[in-house]
Amino acid sequence: MILASWRTITWLVRRADVVLEVVDARDPMGTRSRRLERIVEALGRKLIIVINKADLIPREVAEKWKKIFEDMGYTAVYMAAREHMGTRKLRVAIKKAVETRPIIVAVTGYPKTGKSTVINALKGKHAASTSPIPGSPGYTTHVQLYRIGRSMYMLDSPGVIPVEGDRLEAVIRGKPPEQLRDPINPAIELLKRALRYNPRAVIEAYGIRETDPLRILEEIAVKRGWRYKTTGEPNIEEAARQVIRDYHEAKLNFYVPPEEYLEKRRASVEEAWL
């Protein structure tokens, strides 16, 4: 898996008129990068926050996130690039952002947020290669230029891991699950998070009623018949990789509610006043 360096990102932003920061609608704040936003601001480029994978959250939740970003002074749109939903709104937002033609658009953001899929959706044809799992064939390895219609060019880039972003997201998006040295700890964290935000997530994905993450991994391994050859014990590493894959493919389904973010922000503002 090749991740873009901050130098590449700065180079990319410099070349662009408009920068799209693609975030995952399931956790927009955990998959955004303040550092990227600051680079865009410092270079005087227009930033549009694209809340992608909106098909995985209720519409009113997508509306709330959009409003939260707008209240911060950003332009934000939500879309479901894979379902080709919201592409018109995005195209309009890009054209409104600058008057120059043709417009050069840099598409950036966390790994696996759907950057290449956004470009495909705008292109209307399969142009940028996408991949279901980080690092599997089709992942973006270098910056590529695509022409969209007559007046737009898009620069596709590999994902960048923001230093200040969510640590769990960074680990599970940075490498394909097969290449993780320890898949168990991130899978346990992921299961905890899933159960916290959607108590039915594990039942829905696996038909397992257990709430202890380690036991869940064991039950998944037993159900699939994954056992260590030497000891015959359930192969929880294989189960852990599967859980991470299932999050990427949205079979393990949950999302962070905007209310939680607003509450945290309120608490930190109050603390600052004390």
Ligand X SMILES: Nc1nc2c(ncn2[C@@H]2O[C@H](COP(=O)(O)OP(=O)(O)OP(=O)(O)O)[C@@H](O)[C@H]2O)c(=O)[nH]1
- Binding of residue 113 to ligand X (CB under 6 A): yes
Q: Among residues 78 and 146, whose Cβ is nearest to Mg ion?
A: 146
Question: Torsions phi, psi of 234, nearest 5?
Answer: -55, 130
Q: Among residues 83 and 259, whose Cβ is nearest to ligand X?
A: 83
- Binding of residue 131 to ligand X (CB under 6 A): yes
Count H helices, E strands: the chain? 11, 6
Report yes or no: 37 and 47 within 8 Å, Cβ to Cβ.
yes
Amino acid at 222: V
33, 116, 120, 242: which one contacts Mg ion (CB under 5 A)? 116
Q: Among residues 62 and 220, whose Cβ is nearest to ligand X?
A: 62
Question: Torsions phi, psi of 20, nearest 5?
Answer: -95, 125
Near Mg ion in 177-196, by CB under 5 A: none
Report yes or no: 205 and 246 within 8 Å, Cβ to Cβ.
yes
User: x/- string (CB under 6 A) for ligand X, residues 230-269?
Assistant: --------------------x-------------------
Near ligand X in 54-93, by CB under 6 A: 55-56, 80-83
Please state at what angle helix 115-123 crosses helix 87-97, rounded to 10 degrees. Answer: 90
Q: Which two tokens stand for residue 86?
A: 């919201």
Q: Among residues 95 and 123, whose Cβ is nearest to Mg ion?
A: 123
**Taking contact as CB under 6 A, which single stretch among the options 115-123, 219-227, 237-245, 261-269 is the one that binds ligand X?**
115-123
Question: CA distances (Å), 249 to each of 25, 113, 244, in order?
Answer: 14, 12, 9
- Binding of residue 113 to Mg ion (CB under 5 A): no
Q: Where are the alpha helices (DSSP H) in the chain?
A: 6-15, 34-42, 59-71, 87-97, 115-123, 167-174, 184-197, 201-206, 213-224, 236-248, 258-273
Question: Torsions phi, psi of 106, nearest 5?
Answer: -100, 130
Shortest spacing between CB 252 and ligand X, in angstroms: 13
Distance CA 261, CA 52 (A): 18
Amino acid at 217: L
78, 139, 206, 255: which one contacts ligand X (CB under 6 A)? 139
Instruction: Say whether the peptide bond before residue 162 is cis (omega within 30 degrees of 0).
Output: no
111 contacts which partner out of ligand X, Mg ion, none, CB within 5 to 8 A by kind?
ligand X
Near Mg ion in 22-51, by CB under 5 A: none
**Taking contact as CB under 6 A, which single stretch among the options 93-101, 108-116, 145-153, 187-195 is the one that binds ligand X?**
108-116
Report yes or no: 72 and 34 within 8 Å, Cβ to Cβ.
no
Q: Among residues 111 and 183, whose Cβ is nearest to Mg ion?
A: 111
Residues engaged in binding Mg ion (CB under 5 A): 115-116, 140
Residues engaged in binding ligand X (CB under 6 A): 52-53, 55-56, 80-83, 111-117, 130-132, 139-140, 158-159, 250
